[in-house]
Amino acid sequence: MRVSKNKLALLNHSAVALLALSGAAPAVHAQEVAGAPAAPAATTATAADDNLERVVVTARRRQESLQDVPVSVTAFSADQLSKQGIPDVVALTNTLPNTTLKASRATNTTLTAFIRGVGQADPLAGFESGVGIYLDDIYLARPQGAVADIYDVERIEVLRGPQGTLYGRNTIGGAVKYVTRKLAPQTDVRLKGTLGNYKERNGVITASTPVNDQLRVGATLARFKHDGYGRNLFNGAPNYDKDLSAARVSAEWQPTPDLWVRVAGDITQDDSHPKNGHRLIVGRTSGAPILDNVYDTQAEMMTALGHEQDVRQHGVSATVEWTIDPTLTFKSITAQRRDRSWAPIDFDALPVVDMEVPALYTNKQFSQEFNLTYTGPKIQGVAGVYYIDANAYNKFDTILAGAVATSTFTSGDIDTKAWAVYADGSYNLTDAWQLSVGGRYTSDERKADIYRQIYLGAAGSPEMGNPGAILFRTDTDLRDLERTDKKFTPRIALNWKASADQNVYASWSKGFKGGGFDPRLNVVGTRISQAQARAGYKPETIATTELGLKSSFNGGRITTNTAIFHSDYKDVQIPGSVAIDTNGDGRDDSFAGLTTNAGKATIKGFEFEAVAHVTSNFSLAGMYSYIDAKYDEYIVAGVNVASQRVFQNTPRNSGNLRATYEWPLPLGGYNGRLALIGSATYRGATNQFETVSVLDQESYKLYDASVVWTRADGRIRAGIHGKNLSDKHYKTAGYLFPTLGNEGTLTAFYGAPRTVQATVEYRF
Q: Distance between CA 374 and CA 377 in Å, rounded? A: 10
Identify whether the C-beta of residue 493 lies closer than 8 Å to the C-beta of residue 506. Answer: yes
Region for residue 59 given its phi and psi (left: phi exceeds 0; alpha: psi -120 to 50; beta: otherwise): alpha
| Nearest partner of 624 among 551, 684, 559, judged by Cα | 684
Total domains in the fold of the chain? 1
- pLDDT for the residue 87: 84
A 10 A CB-CB count for 10 gives: 13
Q: What is the CATH number for 425?
A: 2.40.170.20
Q: Distance between CA 375 and CA 393 in Å, rounded? A: 42
Contacts of 343 (CB under 8 A, 6+ apart): 106, 107, 274, 304, 309, 311, 357, 358, 359, 360, 361, 396
- Alpha carbon distances (Å) from 581 to 187, 412, 471, 528, 543: 65, 22, 18, 14, 39
Q: Identify any residues that bridge with 330 across adjacent strands, giving them in sequence order.
A: 322, 372
Q: Identify any residues that bridge with 219 across adjacent strands, giving them in sequence order.
A: 207, 249
Which tens digit of pLDDT belongs to each residue from 313-339?
999 999 999 999 999 999 999 999 999
Strand, helix or coil for residue 748? strand
* Residues belonging to the chain: 764
- pLDDT for the residue 8: 38
Q: Distance between CA 275 and CA 302 in Å, rounded? A: 12
Give the phi and the psi of residue 71 in degrees, each rounded to 5.
-140, 145
- pLDDT for the residue 65: 76
Strand, helix or coil for residue 760? strand
Q: Distance between CA 113 and CA 128 in Å, rounded? A: 11
- pLDDT for the residue 55: 64
Residue type at 61 in one-letter notation: R
Per-residue 3-state assignment (H helix, E strand, C coil) for 159-189: EECCECCCCCCCECCEEEEEEECCCCCCCEE
For residue 523, give the H/E element and its range.
helix 523-526
SS3 percent helix, strand, coil of the chain, rounded to 5, is 5, 60, 35
DSSP character string of 649-697: T--SEEEEEEEEEEEE--BTTB-EEEEEEEEEEEE--B-SSSS--TT-B
Per-residue 3-state assignment (H helix, E strand, C coil) for 284-298: CCCCCCCCCCCCCEC
- pLDDT for the residue 127: 80
- pLDDT for the residue 15: 37
Q: Distance between CA 669 and CA 671 in Å, rounded? A: 7
Give pTM, 2 decimals.
0.90
Rounded to 5°, angle at Cα 151 from 105 and 70 = 85
Q: Distance between CA 445 and CA 118 in Å, rounded? A: 22
Rounded to 5°, angle at Cα 175 from 246 and 728 = 70
For the chain, list residues with pLDDT below 70: 1-55, 59, 61, 145-146, 148-149
- pLDDT for the residue 16: 36
Identify whether the C-beta of residue 409 lies closer than 8 Å to the C-beta of residue 463. Answer: yes
- Alpha carbon distances (Å) from 361 to 206, 338, 511, 654: 31, 11, 28, 34
716 by Cβ neighbours in 10 Å (0-12 / 13-18 / 19+) ranks as: middle
Q: Distance between CA 65 and CA 51 in Å, rounded? A: 16
A 10 A CB-CB count for 725 gives: 16
Identify whether the C-beta of residue 301 lies closer than 8 Å to the C-beta of residue 276. Answer: no
A 10 A CB-CB count for 181 gives: 18
Identify whether the C-beta of residue 372 lies closer than 8 Å to the C-beta of residue 419. Answer: no
Q: Distance between CA 155 and CA 152 in Å, rounded? A: 9
- Alpha carbon distances (Å) from 7 to 14, 288, 466, 627: 10, 44, 59, 13
- pLDDT for the residue 578: 81
DSSP character string of 248-311: EEEEEEEEETTEEEEEEEEEEEE-PPPP--EE-S--TTT-PPPPSSTT-B------BTTBPSEE
Round the CA-based radius of gyration of the chain to a whole number and report it.
Answer: 26
| Nearest partner of 272 among 325, 221, 322, 232, judged by Cα | 232
Which tens digit of pLDDT belongs to each residue from 485-533?
999 999 999 999 999 999 999 999 999 999 999 998 888 777 788 888 8
Rounded to 5°, angle at Cα 257 from 255 and 260 = 60
Distance between first and last Cα of the chain: 53
**Which structural domain, as residue segments, surrounds residue 600?**
5-763
Per-residue 3-state assignment (H helix, E strand, C coil) for 580-645: ECCCCCCCCCEEEECCEEEEEEEEEEEEEEEEEECCCCEEEEEEEEEEEEEEEECEECCEECHHHC
Contacts of 347 (CB under 8 A, 6+ apart): 277, 354, 355, 356, 357, 735, 737, 745, 747
Q: Among the residues of 353-464, which ranges form H helices?
A: none
Which tens digit of pLDDT belongs to each residue from 389-433?
999 999 999 999 988 899 999 999 999 999 999 999 999 999 999
Q: Identify any residues that bridge with 323 across adjacent strands, giving them in sequence order.
A: 329
Q: Distance between CA 161 and CA 143 in Å, rounded? A: 19
